[in-house]
Amino acid sequence: MPVTRCIGCRNYFAGPGRCPKCGADNSTPQMLRARAHASAGQRPLVGRSGTNGFAIAALVLGLLGISLLALVFGLVALKQIKEDRAQTGRGLALAGIWLAVAWTVLGVVLVVLLASG
């Protein structure tokens, strides 16, 4: 039997199927499970489902050119999204990180140009 990590209580059990501890249905694919769980209203995890806040912050900071913070927030977001499958926003976090990298490269190029000019 494969081991499943319950989306409801994060208990490990021999799955897939219904969690013996909290009864959450773990038989459907990851994303659907997360949504079904959220809409079922069992133990609402405030602030732990939906789009990751750090991911949004990373994208905004990246767009503003605040590269260091965008990079940090993006990495934090990726870590949190990886640990909590109910969260989305991986694309936003990656966009923030790449914007941070782009700004950093741009900054380095400008510094080099200014130094050599």
Q: Interface with Zn ion by CB under 5 A: which residues?
A: 6, 8-9, 11, 19, 21-22, 24
Bridge-partner residues for 50, per DSSP? 87
Nearer to Zn ion, 37 or 81 (CB): 37
Name the minimum Å distance from CB 59 to Zn ion.
32
Burial of 112 (0-12, 13-18, 19+ CB in 10 A): exposed
Nearer to Zn ion, 9 or 45 (CB): 9
Nearer to Zn ion, 21 or 35 (CB): 21
Nearer to Zn ion, 85 or 90 (CB): 85
Rounded CA-CA distance 74/56 in Å is 9
DSSP string, 36-74: HHHHHTSS--TTTSEE-HHHHHHHHHHHHT-HHHHHHHH
Name the minimum Å distance from CB 91 to Zn ion.
28
| Residue 4 φ then ψ, to 5° | -110, 140
Name the minimum Å distance from CB 30 to Zn ion.
15
Name the minimum Å distance from CB 7 to Zn ion.
7
